Structure 1
Amino acid sequence: MPGKEPHYAVSFAERYGSFSDSYFNASTALHRLGELIEDVESLKGIFDKVIPDERRWAPWVGAEIVSYYGVGYVTCLEWHARSRLRDLLTFKPEAAKVEDLRVVKEKIVIEMFTVKVNLASIVAAVTSVSSFEEYMNLFSRVLSAFDPKLDAWGALKTARPGTGKPWVEVQEFDELKGLYTSRNDLVHEIGITRVGHPISRDRLDPDEAHRLGELVQRTMLAIEASISAAVPSNFPNLLDNNGFRISEADWIEREIVDLESKIGKTTTALSDGLVEQDQYWNPSKAAAAEYIAKEKLFLERASVFHNRYVEMREPLKIALLKSRHQYLKSIIEMIGEVWEVDETPSSTPS
């Protein structure tokens, strides 16, 4: 019916699939978590001055809003898991399962075509991550898609660099599970844990809220370390050791150099030795490099791309480089198909 609201999964996929909205990724989840940890640390400093330890009740009965940091932490875990599921299905469609398609009905397919969103985003939008077990099972799926011997539980037990200790201690697993339980109770129920006697209420004190935030951060970084070690270098949205996003543009530019080299060698090999190298390829390659350089200068200097709220230049630069990469890849694939030359590249930007 005209004017009817689209399916929520389609709306989600469209909202987080635009050029200007690059928030559906692991880097964003970690960034948001870092902000929450800094925030609770600042709030803790205020409470330490206003209500020092010797004047506090046990358990904590101060500002109940502190407990809601747990809601934010679980949201970051959920965002982390769902974004990596989308990355997996985008990069490796064969990793999809029949149950992933449970939501794809005729109405949704039509809406998908209308707004031009992909299936991977739809699946990520409807995937539930309502318990720590679901979070871990999803990441076990991601890791095992590249190495059947890997799972998320093992990733958390590996040694944290420079410490000699595991990323997450055995006793901390129960705390992570409990974080989901408390979150679900906090946002869905109003019982004795919310309005009963202060002794029976379930509240986070500032110290606990800060410590749990750092535990969640270690959990996410441990998962990311295992992902980086297991997946190819062109897997989407890879992070460095500190949890910062690795530049996709840098990777594509390196790939372009490799593809151009393959094309040069292939065209030379097919010239029957009449020339040292195809006389048209080098001028073409030089002209393309000059064009890309001028386009990058345009993106960097044009005032229209400088916006205090939205980063426009980086996604547009990636779009520019991807177009060149796809063209070069198509050349190699077509030459390989027609002339039966095995030079097809094995990697594709996300």
Structure 2
Amino acid sequence: MDKNGKNVRDDLRRRLDEIKRISDEVHGTLNAISVISRMEDALEDISRLEELSTKYKPHEWARSPFSIISYYSVIYVTCLEWHARSRLADLFEYQPSSLADDDLKKGLGTEKIVGLITNKAAIPHFVAFSRNISNAGSYLETFARIFSALSIPNDPRKIIANIRPRKLADLTFSEATASGVDYLTGIYDFRNELVHQIDISQIGPTALRYDWDCTNARAYGEFVLSAIKAIEAEITASSPPDFPNRLDDDGYPINVEDLIDEKICELEAEIASRMEGFRTVLDVSKKAFAAEIELIETAEELNIIRWFDYRTPCRRALKRGRLQYLEALRSNLDY
């Protein structure tokens, strides 16, 4: 076997395993709430670092006692990239017709498609995960595309432009004229320079170095979190109710099972009004359904171990099976 070919297949297999893990409905992290949680964790971490930094004064002319503080920019940009990819995956799952030729050419090939089918990995997540969101422009363009596909009227660029961080310890931009887009661009540029090159601003004399201190790290972190939440608020307000991974008005995930339960009740009522035989067995099927739900909730074999929840996937599979049956029943009544 060709060694290079084997390496490519091994890389693809590892990537497919990663896609399956991050896109898992219950334990996956390719979703907006994971982005928000990561940002909130980072800001809590900065609070602890602020306490520590009071014990250490920076060297003369230095901006910060710890150059590592600048690397919070890596976390922030990772969250921005993850945010864009997660919502792009949601769009592709909800509206496959929004996939463009460019998405497929960059993200897929025959070997990858075979691998996706073989490993039962989701194509929407694979394509979205393969997208490059390496600058502020691509972040804003991605959400402009999502908003357009979902008929969300507001412009992501205008939303971000109206958000500004609190007063910073540096004068990277003129505070009188800089918009939120300028700050977003600045965070991306700062991160990219930090991780891709070594220059005088990092290893030169302390007076020439540009390191974030805790004030900057917190200001930029709060700005990024505000920007992400502002985008999410628009999705909550204007996206269809069944759009994946929607958040409620308070920024918490909407329980998908509540939506499934509502659809089941609606379909049961509709079918019962049109099909006499269905009415006679509805009470029996409801009792059997409730008994299976109770089994899932009480089975010792499905106990939650540490942070892994084994009951939710089983419960959702049962409910989706019921919903699928009812949808098939209703569609065939129409003939």
CA distance 1:314–1:16, shift in 2 (3 Å): same
After TM superposition, the structure 1 = structure 2 runs for residues 54-133 of structure 1, keeping only pairs within 5 Å, are 57=60, 59-102=62-105, 103-133=107-137
Q: Percent identical across equivalent pairs?
A: 30
Q: Aligned pairs, how many?
A: 315
Structure 1 residue corresponding to 2:298, chosen from 297, 301, 325: 301
Deviations 1:194-236 (A, max 9, x none): 2112222221100111111111111011000111122111111
- Whether 1:322 and 2:320 are equivalent positions in the alignment is yes
CA distance 1:288–1:65, shift in 2 (3 Å): farther
Deviations 1:218-265 (A, max 9, x none): 101100011112211111101123321111111110111111122122
Cα distance, 1:156 vs. partner? 3.4
Consecutive unaligned residues of structure 1, counting only runs of 5 or more, are 161-168, 268-277, 339-350
Cα distance, 1:296 vs. partner? 2.4
Matched residue, 2:330: 332
Cα distance, 1:285 vs. partner? 2.4
Structure 2 residue corresponding to 1:144, chosen from 148, 157, 162: 148
Bigger mean CA offset, 324-333 vs 310-319: 310-319
CA distance 1:306–1:32, shift in 2 (3 Å): same
Matched residue, 2:10: 5
Bigger mean CA offset, 232-241 vs 146-155: 146-155
CA distance 1:172–1:59, shift in 2 (3 Å): farther
Cα distance, 1:45 vs. partner? 2.1
Matched residue, 2:43: 37
Consecutive unaligned residues of structure 2, counting only runs of 5 or more, are 165-176
Cα distance, 1:56 vs. partner? 6.9
Structure 2 distance, partners of 1:43, 1:159, is: 25
Structure 2 distance, partners of 1:316, 1:184, is: 43
Matched residue, 1:227: 235
CA distance 1:301–1:56, shift in 2 (3 Å): farther
CA distance 1:201–1:11, shift in 2 (3 Å): farther
Structure 2 distance, partners of 1:132, 1:263, is: 50
Structure 1 distance, partners of 2:42, 2:162, is: 26
Task: Please report the TM-score for the alignment, with normalisation by the length of structure 1.
Answer: 0.83
Structure 1 distance, partners of 2:51, 2:288, is: 54
Structure 1 distance, partners of 2:118, 2:148, is: 34
Pairwise CA RMSD: 2.3
- Whether 1:46 and 2:43 are equivalent positions in the alignment is no
- Whether 1:208 and 2:216 are equivalent positions in the alignment is yes
Structure 1 distance, partners of 2:178, 2:274, is: 55
SS at match of 1:5: helix
Structure 1 distance, partners of 2:197, 2:331, is: 58
